[in-house]
């Protein structure tokens, strides 16, 4: 049976959605419309990003509080430890806990001096995400997701160092990893072979980025160390001035990537929503899913 037909039949695919905290009243409106729209897909959880150095603490906390209280969604709060003492981090954890958070996405964060500059840990802080995971685990029995990098983190010396960091996060109590977005499923499959060989047994969930705008995406991907295969140039060629066809291609590309991963045996996906619903809806519809069947499942 084709994967789309399987999805139609039982919708067994696991989904999570990532949002970022709004920075203006317009973005606030857009976020909550998007959350209302996407919660119809019955995600396993949603997550809200957190500015490195605590720059978005208040809006992240507010968004998380509403997602748990009003939208009744299982919500994970991202948490970074860059430029923060352990005490600072623990205070933030307490605030999130009081808001009902039981799931953190534990991250080091980018250096406040800019991506690509050397990372200097706070003298009384956690040096990396593995240490943060250990600290969280000592506080409570949280669900703890962490990052993973199929194409290695730009700061990692090599692939082995990168896997080693994921192993340390796993050993310290991480319960799931969410990957940086990628477009080459062979790269992810080879990465998963290394993950399994390292004895890491938690789910390492593919992060899927539906492409709103290929030019902007390329700039962002360059900073993240994600390669953008040339087939994407071909697929989006000539569509700069044609938003309708561009959105259709973007939905096809992301759905094809997920279908291919399903054929390879992966059934859990973390979607970077960019706080917009239409493209995510189109991707999931292309996969043969329907909100009604997922709610009933
Ligand atoms: P770690 O897991 O600690 O390290 C990542 C890799 O970098 C490791 O593999 C390690 O080999 C290498 N490394 C780490 N420290 C050093 C060092 N000092 N020297 C050499 N190599 C080193 N950022 C935000 O600000 N807010 C968010 O909400 C956020 N959410 C994210 C969600 C996901 C799913 C992902 C994949 C990333 C997210 N990021 C976010 C980005 C993340 O903060 C950056 O990639 C950051 O640079 C690394 O954080 P980390 O937790 O992955 O680091």
Give the pLDDT mean for 177-187.
98
* Residue numbers annotated as active site: 18
At 3, the pLDDT band (50, 70, 90 cuts) reads low
Cα 295 to averaged position of ligand 1 atoms, centre (Å): 34
Residue minimizing CA distance to atom 38 of ligand 1: 147
- Taking the C-alpha atoms of residue 215 and residue 261, their distance in angstroms, rounded to an integer, is 25
Helix H or strand E segment including 41: none
Nearest-CA residue for atom 12 of ligand 1: 156
pLDDT value for 132? 98
Out of 109, 135, 145, mutate this one to test ligand 1's pocket (max ligand atoms within 8 Å of CB): namely 109
Residue nearest to atom 30 of ligand 1 (CA): 49
**DSSP conformation class of 128:** S
**Burial of 19 (C-beta count, 10 Å sphere; 0-12/13-18/19+):** buried
- Taking the model in full, what pTM does it have? 0.96
Query: What is the mean predicted confidence (pLDDT) over 141-153?
Result: 98
Question: In this prediction, what percent of the chain has a pLDDT beyond 90?
Answer: 86
Q: Which helix (H) or strand (E) holds 178?
A: strand 176-181
Ligand 1 contact via 129 beta carbon (within 6 Å): yes
> Collapsing DSSP states into helix, strand and coil, what is residue 228?
coil
DSSP category for residue 259? H
pLDDT tens for 201-254 read: 999 999 999 999 999 999 999 999 999 999 999 999 999 889 999 999 999 999
User: Dihedral through CA 276, CA 47, CA 78, CA 196, nearest 10?
Assistant: -110
- Give the contacts of 116 (CB within 8 A, at least 6 positions apart): 154, 223
Which atom of ligand 1 lies at the shortest distance from residue 155's CA?
A: 21
The residue whose C-alpha atom lies closest to atom 28 belonging to ligand 1 is 49
Find, among 108, 87, 235, 250, the residue nearest to 169 by Cα.
108
> What torsion do the CA atoms of 184, 186, 187, 190 make, to the nearest 10 degrees?
160
In three-state secondary structure terms, 21 is coil
pLDDT at position 89 is: 96
Is pLDDT above 90 for 163?
A: yes
For ligand 1, say whether the CB of 168 is within 6 Å of any of its atoms.
Answer: no
Question: How many CA atoms lie less than 13 Å away from 132 in the CB half-sphere?
Answer: 32
pLDDT digits (tens, 9 = 90+) for 76-92: 999 999 999 999 999 99
The Cα 171–Cα 159 span in angstroms is 18
Q: Where are the domains of the chain?
A: 4-290
How far, in Å, is the centroid of ligand 1 from the Cα of 50? Answer: 13
Taking the centre of ligand 1 as the mean of its atom positions, its distance from the CA of residue 107, in whole angstroms, is 6
Neighbours of 72 (CB within 10 A): 9
Task: Give the residue whose CA is nearest to atom 32 of ligand 1.
Answer: 147
Distance CA 146, CA 137 (A): 13
Long-range contacts (CB closer than 8 Å, 24 or more residues apart) made by 214-217: 215/240
Beta-ladder partners of 88: none
Q: Which CATH architecture best describes the domain 4-290?
A: Alpha-Beta Barrel (3.20)
Pocket flag, ligand 1, residue 128 (CB < 6 Å): yes
What atom of ligand 1 comes closest to residue 149's alpha carbon?
36
Evaluate: CB of 277 within 6 angstroms of ligand 1.
no
What does the pLDDT read at residue 116? 78
> Given a cut of 70, is residue 54 above it in pLDDT?
no
């Amino acid at each position: 049976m084709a994967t789309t037909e399987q999805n139609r039949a039982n919708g067994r695919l696991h989904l999570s959605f990532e949002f970022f905290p709004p920075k203006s009243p317009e973005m606030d409106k857009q976020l909550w419309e998007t959350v209302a729209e996407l919660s119809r897909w019955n995600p396993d959880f949603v997550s809200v990003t957190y500015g490195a150095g605590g720059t978005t603490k208040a809006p992240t906390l507010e968004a998380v509080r509403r997602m748990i209280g009003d939208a009744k969604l299982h919500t994970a709060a991202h948490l970074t430890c860059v430029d923060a003492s352990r005490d600072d981090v623990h205070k933030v954890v307490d605030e999130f806990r009081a808001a009902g958070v039981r799931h953190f996405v534990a991250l080091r964060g980018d250096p406040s001096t800019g991506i690509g500059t050397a990372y200097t840990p706070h003298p009384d802080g956690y040096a990396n995400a593995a240490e943060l995971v250990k600290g969280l685990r000592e506080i409570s029995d949280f669900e703890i997701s962490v990052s993973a990098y199929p194409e290695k983190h730009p700061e990692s010396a090599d692939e082995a160092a990168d896997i080693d960091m994921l192993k340390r996060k796993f050993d310290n109590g991480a319960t799931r990893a969410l990957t940086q977005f990628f477009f080459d499923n062979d790269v992810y499959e080879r990465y998963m072979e290394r993950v399994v060989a390292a004895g890491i047994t938690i789910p390492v969930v593919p992060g899927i980025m539906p492409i709103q705008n290929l030019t902007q995406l390329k700039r962002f991907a360059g900073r993240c160390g994600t390669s953008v295969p040339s087939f994407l140039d071909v697929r989006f060629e000539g569509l700069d001035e044609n938003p309708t066809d561009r959105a259709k291609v973007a939905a096809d590309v992301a759905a094809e990537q997920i279908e291919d991963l399903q054929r390879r045996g992966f059934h859990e996906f973390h979607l970077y929503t960019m706080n917009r619903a239409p493209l995510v809806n189109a991707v999931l519809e292309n996969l043969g899913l329907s909100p009604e069947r997922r709610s009933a499942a």
